[in-house]
Amino acid sequence: MPESRPYHHGDLRSALLDSAERTLREKGVGSLSLRELARETGVSHAAPGRHFKDKQALLDALALAGYDRLAEVLAAAYDPALPLQPRLTALARAYLAFATENAELLALMYARKHEPEAAEQMAAGVDRSVGSLGRVIADAQRHGEVVEGDPERLTLFMGATLHGIAALTAGGLLDADEAFGMTEDLIHHLLHGLKPR
Amino acid sequence: MPESRPYHHGDLRSALLDSAERTLREKGVGSLSLRELARETGVSHAAPGRHFKDKQALLDALALAGYDRLAEVLAAAYDPALPLQPRLTALARAYLAFATENAELLALMYARKHEPEAAEQMAAGVDRSVGSLGRVIADAQRHGEVVEGDPERLTLFMGATLHGIAALTAGGLLDADEAFGMTEDLIHHLLHGLKPR
DNA sequence: ACCTGAACACCGTTCAAGT
DNA sequence: ACCTGAACACCGTTCAAGT
C-alpha cells in the first residue's frame, strides 16, 4: 500500500468495477458516470478510458461478472441429494434471492448489449446458469420423474417461469416476500400443471 | 396546419411522446435526449420542461402508454369462444408479439421508476394486463378445466411464465422465431406439468 | 504501459424574459 | 398559458503530453 496517491494506480480496472458495482446497487444505473467513478477512485476522468473502451464496455463487464456470480449461486444451491420438488424449490429461491439482492445488475444482465463480442460471452453466461436447470431436468427424466421430450424445451419452460417471477420481483411489480412465499406453490404448479388430474 | 412555425406548438406534449416512442424503437433509450426531441419537434430545448417535469416523467408517460397498448393487445387476443389451450396460446402469442415489437418499451415498462405516483399507475397498468389472464383462469376453474386454488396465484404462475419467455426474447437471449415456435409446447407444459401422469 | 489536462460536443434543468 | 435564450453544472470521448 503506497503512502498517498501514486501515479499508477496498480489495479485500476478492478477498482473501477468494484466502485461501479457499489454505485449500481446503491444508486442505480442512471447515477453511474465514468467521471464520478474516476473521482471516487482518485484518478483522472480520462483514466477509465484506458481500461474500458467506452461506458458500455464497463457495463458489459459488470453484467458478465454478474453471470459468473449467478452461476455460482445456482451451482451452490443445486443439491442432487434432495428429491425433485425441494431441489427445484432451492434453485428457484436461490435465483429469486440473487434477483432481489441485485435487481439493477439483473436488468443490466438482461439488457440488449451493443458490443457484439460481449453479447457472445453473455450467451455463454446464460448457458452456464441454465446448465444447473438442465442438469435437474435431464437427471429427473432419467429417473422417470419428468415427462419425456426435448430436454432443452423443458428446461426453457422452467427457466422462463423462474426468470418471470425473478424479473417481476426485481422490477418491483411483485413484493419480494410475497414471491418467496409462493415459490413452493409455483414449483408445485410447474410439476403438476394447471389441469386437474 | 399553420404555415411555418408558430410560437405555440399546439399539442407539444403528444408530439414529444410520439417522437420519443419512435426514437425509443429505432435507437433505444440510450439515444433518447430531451434536447434532440425538442430539435426534431422544432421547439426550443427548454420547451419539453413545460410538459414533463423531468426526463423520467417523459419515460414514465411512455411506459404508461405502453401498458395501455399491451392491455388492448391482450384484450383483443382474448377469445372466449376458443377451447382453453388455444385460448391461452393466443394470449401468449399476443404478448410475445408485443414484446418483440416493443422490446425497448417493455424494458422501460418493467424498470424501477422513481416518481412514486407513476409507480401507482404502473401497477394499475399491470393489473389491467394481468386481468385478461385472470379471466381465463377464473373461467376455466368454473368449468373444472383448471385445478382449484387461489386464482391469483395461478394467474401469477401463468403470467410469470409468459413474462419469462417474453422478457428473454425481448432481451435478445432467445430468438423470436424460436420463441414463437415453442409457444404451443409451453402452454401444453403449463397445463399438464412436468411430471408424467 | 499507464495516467493527466485540456478540449470538444454533447447533456438535463432552471429561470428571467418574451409572445 | 406557453415558449425562448442564456446560463449552470454536469456528462463521455479523444488526444497530445507527461511519468
Q: Tens digits of per-residue pLDDT, A116-170?
A: 888 889 989 999 999 999 999 999 999 999 999 999 999 999 999 999 999 999 9
Averaged pLDDT, groups of 10, chain A, 197 residues long:
59 97 96 98 98 98 97 96 97 98 96 85 90 95 97 97 97 95 97 95
Chain A contact set for B153 (CB, 8 A):
182, 185
Cβ-7 Å neighbors of strand D: A 7, 32-36, 45-46, 49, 53-56; B 7-10, 12, 38, 43-47, 49-51
Using CB atoms and an 8 Å cut-off, which of residues 146-175 of chain B contact chain A? Answer: 146-148, 153-154, 156-165, 167-168, 171-174
Q: Which residue lies nearest C18, CA-to-C1' measured?
A: B7
Q: Which three cell numbers stand for residue A105?
A: 445488475
pLDDT for res A10 = 82
Q: Which residue lies nearest D2, CA-to-C1' measured?
A: B8
Cα–Cα nearest to B159, from B184, B182, B193, B136: B136
Question: How far, in Å, CA of B135 to CA of B151, rounded?
Answer: 9
Of the candidates B146, B172, B182, the beta carbon closest to that of A195 is on: B146
Q: Where are the domains of chain A?
A: 1-52, 66-192
Q: How many CB atoms lie within 10 A of CB A177?
A: 10
SS3 of residue A1 by DSSP: coil
Query: From the CA of A22, how many Å to the nearest CA of chain B?
Result: 18
Q: Can you tell me the mean pLDDT for B121-140?
A: 93
Using CB atoms and an 8 Å cut-off, which of residues 35-64 of chain A contact chain B? Answer: none
- Domain A1-52 is found in CATH 1.10.101.10: no
Of the candidates B110, B157, B195, the beta carbon closest to that of A171 is on: B110
Question: How far, in Å, CA of B166 to CA of A110, rounded?
Answer: 12
User: Are B110 and A164 an interchain contact pair (Cβ–Cβ within 8 Å)?
Assistant: no
Share of chain B above pLDDT 90, in %: 86
SS3 of residue A16 by DSSP: helix
User: Are A160 and B186 an interchain contact pair (Cβ–Cβ within 8 Å)?
Assistant: yes
Quick check: B2 pLDDT over 70? no
Judge whether A141 is closer than 8 Å to chain B, CB to CB. Answer: no
DSSP string, B7-48: SS-SSHHHHHHHHHHHHHHHH-GGG--HHHHHHHTTS-TTTH
Question: How far, in Å, CA of B86 to CA of A36, rounded?
Answer: 53
**In which element (H, E) is residue A130 found?**
helix A116-142
pLDDT for res A83 = 97
User: Are B156 and A174 an interchain contact pair (Cβ–Cβ within 8 Å)?
Assistant: yes
User: Are A107 and B107 an interchain contact pair (Cβ–Cβ within 8 Å)?
Assistant: yes
pLDDT for res B4 = 45
Question: How far, in Å, CA of B98 to CA of B70, rounded?
Answer: 7
Query: From the CA of B8, how many Å to the nearest CA of chain A?
Result: 32
Distance B36 CA to D2 C1' (A): 20
Chain A's closest residue to B161, CA to CA, is A161
Looking at domain A66-192, its CATH architecture is Orthogonal Bundle (1.10)
Residues 6+ apart with CB under 8 A from B55: B34
